[in-house]
Structure 1
Amino acid sequence: MRHLRFGVQVSELTTDIESLVKLAQRAEALGFSSIFLPDHLGGDQWSPISALTAIALGTKEISLGALVFCNDYRHPVVLAQELACLSVISSGRLEFGLGAGWMKADYERAGIAMDSPSKRIARLEEALIVMKGLFLGSAFSYFGEYYQLENASTITIPEGMAPKLIVGGGGKKMLEVASRHGDVVGVNVNLASGAVGPSLVAEVGPNAFDEKLKWVNSYMGDRIGEVDLQCLSFIAKVGPDANDWIDSMAPAFGISGKEAREIPIVLSGTVDQVAETILARRREYGFNYWVIHQNELEEFAPVVAALQGE
């Protein structure tokens, strides 16, 4: 079993860049290993590359990245150059997620055609091949269905500073791609519907995650011991009244509190209860890398402290 790691996803707008950097510094001080920004179009949110550069300059140890960059509006050669620079600026602390795109609203806002999932996933896999090739440090050529490049390159990345790649998914094909290419594999809900809503409850239960992890194990083979398995939590509620809160909220999703607490992406209970749940889910599913949301940072910090070194 791999050592536990904890990250925080920025999920709320901070009013200025200083506040965002202070948030990253606070996460670093509390023992979190990473901080991530989303990559969506529209609304008040920081552009990841600009904001992550500020975070890199304002922190010393915490890893940083995006969950996740959308391949369909970021050409892999251009993104690779940006991320190579960011990796050097951060002294090799970059962990970047790259996905096939899922949110319909992003495509509509940008006027970009949203292709079928199979086409987006195929294009993503080519982009992953391109970016991994570019990060090797020499001129790279590739001639695929979606991308054709000859003697492309990025700035030189010093040895040991190459970005770590996060690829995740909730469906079988996406998890196959993630298992082939990711340094970190995220096991998520299936977002093929293009939006988050109550309908997702039907596929987030233990049986669904059992099936997802069977796919990952079969696709990854011998790599399973070398890869972090990441889980972006849906809810991480810590405190003496946490389970009461879950019990009161669960009926809105058509399930009981007990059923909600058994969902693999839900963490709920006292510090000791949540710590034990995380250890149990590492044993059962292999999850060793948990990402919680910004507004859960302070209440979740005692869990991180309790599991230090595990």
Structure 2
Amino acid sequence: MRFGMFIPQGGDFELRGVPVTKQWDVIRDLAQDADAGPFESIWVFDHFITDPPSDEPTFEAWSMMAAFAACTSRVRLGQLCTCMGYRNPAYLAKMAACIDVMSGGRLEVGIGAGWYEHEWRSYGYGFPSVSDRLGMLDEGVQIMRQMWTTGSATLMGKHYQVDGAISRPLPLQDGGIPLWIGGSGEKKTLRTAAKYAQYTNFGASLDGFEHKSRVLAAHCRDVGTDFDAITRSVLLNVAIGETEKDVADRVAWVRAHYEPLLPPERLEPLLGYWTEGLIGTPEQIVEQLTEAGRMGVGYVIARFIDAAYDRTSIDLFTNKVIPELSR
């Protein structure tokens, strides 16, 4: 099993209380710690604002990719996932190719259709229908793959039209930058993944993972691609402790951190989200991940609830979980 680590960037209030002048220091130091450790990759979300909206700072994903390219040397750099509608796909492909070169060939591109309506509208993108957003995803991925493999792209689509858009430098990676298709829509998203993805990410839960895998496999058969060549991943929140009391304390910390920020109707769903991932002692989490591996999970991106404030959880996972699963 392979492991990536999510880096806090503020969108879920996970930098709350850290002075703004120190927030990038925290982000950079965590990225460099991951670079020195066993994690294969580091990841961020593609959001401009918090959910729900607030004045809390949120660092932008692709600015971070360029900065990570400069301040790390080993880990791969990814997003879960870039919203296709936020950037013209030819421009995004050009930007990604440059960052791939700047990083020495370490970029991953996670891409999806986008969902956060307030963010779309507040930034002036409107909010296209689900069908249109999925159509934008499919066309955009075609443009990006052309630009990374041939150095130019032409597509006269419904949503995007490019005519000989040039992308030089080419990415350093043979065959272009690996594509992660994020999302679990069974009719269109997983079909796009079957056609173009090297990796998929179904979301932040193991619920339904086996069913989504079967749907993806069926699409692969339909379009003539190799299901087994697509690595299936999952993003999982982690609350880990040496003892069950330590785990309970970690979960209690989450409530204490978020309770002053959100009204009850928003607080409880968020707490449910944070505590539905990997919760337990190292031994319990190894058992959970062993079962996930049997389900077909090949890559876990771990998100540590308290990463910006305390490295204990990361150290415990690094020392007592990863070695048991990456032998």
Is TM (by shorter chain) over 0.5?
yes
**Residue 47 of structure 2 corresponds to which residue in structure 1?**
40
Q: Which amino acid aligns with 2:289?
A: I
Preserved contact between residue 169 and residue 178 of structure 1 (Cα < 8 Å): no
CA distance in 2, matches of 1:101, 1:59: 28
Q: Which of 268, 278, 291 is the aligned partner of 2:301?
A: 291
Give CA-to-partner distance per residue, 1:212-237, whole Å, 9 cap, x none: 22212222345222222110114443
C-alpha distance after superposition, 1:94-145 (max 9, x if no partner): 0121111101121132132111111101111100010011101333211111
- Structure 1 residue 167 and structure 2 residue 181: aligned? yes
Q: Which amino acid aligns with 2:39?
A: F
Distance in 1 separating the partners of 2:172 and 2:68 = 22
Structure 2: segments with no counterpart, 5+ residues: 50-55, 255-266, 308-312
Q: In the aligned structure 1, how far is the partner of 2:319 from the partner of 2:3?
A: 14
Is structure 2 residue 306 aligned with structure 1 residue 300? no
**Counterparts of 1:85 and 1:303, CA distance in 2:** 37
What displacement does 1:66 show? 1.6
Q: Which has the higher contact order (CA 8 A, sep 6+)?
A: 1
- 2:194 counterpart of 1:179: yes
**How far off is 1:71 after superposition?**
1.1
**Alignment partner for residue 293 of structure 2, among 282, 293, 296?**
282
Question: Please, what TM-score do these two structures have when normalized by structure 2?
Answer: 0.77
Partner SS, residue 78 of structure 2: strand
* Distance of aligned partners of 1:205 and 1:131 in 2 relative to their CA distance in 1, 3 Å threshold: closer
Q: CA RMSD, aligned part only? A: 2.9
Q: Distance in 2 between matches of 1:279 and 1:306?
A: 12
Identity of aligned residues (%): 25
Alpha-carbon distance in 2 for matches of 1:205, 1:246: 21
Q: Distance in 1 between matches of 2:298 and 2:239?
A: 15
**Whole-angstrom CA distance in 2 between matches of 1:205 and 1:91:** 33
Deviation by residue 1:274-295 (Cα, 9 ceiling, x = unmatched): 12221221112x1111112242
| Counterpart AA for 1:230 | S
Contact 1:76 1:131 in 2 (8 A): yes
The alpha-carbon deviation at position 159 of structure 1 amounts to 4.8
How much has 1:158 moved relative to structure 2?
A: 5.3
Which segment is superposed worse, 295-304 or 173-182?
A: 295-304
SS at match of 1:233: strand
Distance in 2, Cα, partners of 1:9 & 1:17: 11
**1:229 and 2:242 matched:** no
Task: Quote the offset at 1:238 in angstroms.
Answer: 4.2
Matches of 2:72 and 2:325, distance apart in 1: 20
Unaligned 5+ runs, structure 1: 190-203
> What is the TM-score when the length of structure 1 is the normalising length?
0.81
Residues 239 and 251, structure 2, Cα contact 8 Å, conserved in 1? no
Matches within 5 A, 1:1-310: 3-11=1-9, 12-13=14-15, 15-42=22-49, 43-157=56-170, 159-160=172-173, 162-172=176-186, 173-188=188-203, 206=207, 208-221=208-221, 223-241=226-244, 244=248, 266-284=277-295, 286-294=296-304, 295=307, 296-307=313-324, 309-310=326-327
Match of 1:155, as an amino acid? R
